[in-house]
Amino acid sequence: MGNNVLIVGASGDIGMAISKRLAQDGYKLILHYNKNKEILDYHIKDLGSESVLQMIQADLTSSNELKNFLKQLVFPVDHLIFASGKTSFGVFQDATESLMDEMLALHVKSPWMLIKHLLPYMVQRQNGNIIFITSIWAEQGASNEVLYSSVKGSQNSFVKALAKEVARSGVSVNAISPGYIDTKMNGHFLEEEKKVIIEDIPINRAGHPDEVAHVVSFLMDSRSAYIQGEVINITGGW
């Protein structure tokens, strides 16, 4: 079993937590980022230089940058994790066509293209994990986050469909659906709004990126191979 993992969106809070956990588990990491290289450079010190095979910058909303990104992958990719994401907060009728294109490219088309490129190697080896970090809004939907809810819902559907297609080839495809996690992505909420959200969560707190990373580690374990096409909620009962 190969142990090279490509983490898309490694510089985000959840992506970085996943990177740390998988480095501890002994995996070799290929880390993608877009704009947060300084943050990634800082945290890489905790991973150990021997754990990081490559760092690649790319804006995955750009078709040209995506193609260039694929050309830069010089190491075989045994497992693939999508931790990238961008929220869009606002009334749906104010959304522009360019924003729609950007959200679709980042959350839907770029995963399609990456997986199309990398899947043949996994099928040939009869082994591999593909894991998406989606969102509670993919199933529940969120007012003022209609675009984000839509593209995350697309990811969930893609996971369920692809899992059936590649199951006999030894490739596991699953998703993790976090609820309210303490990350920079949720930084647009006011303190009073955060308080209201947490009061509505039965466990009465925000989730931590490390808790998402733990479930990634669980799914990557060969003993979890019978889990296929699932969307695992990490919501504190929300």
Residues annotated catalytic, as ranges: 148
Q: What are the tokens at 116?
A: 């199309």
Q: Residue 107, by phi and psi: left (phi above 0), alpha (psi -120 to 50) or beta? A: alpha
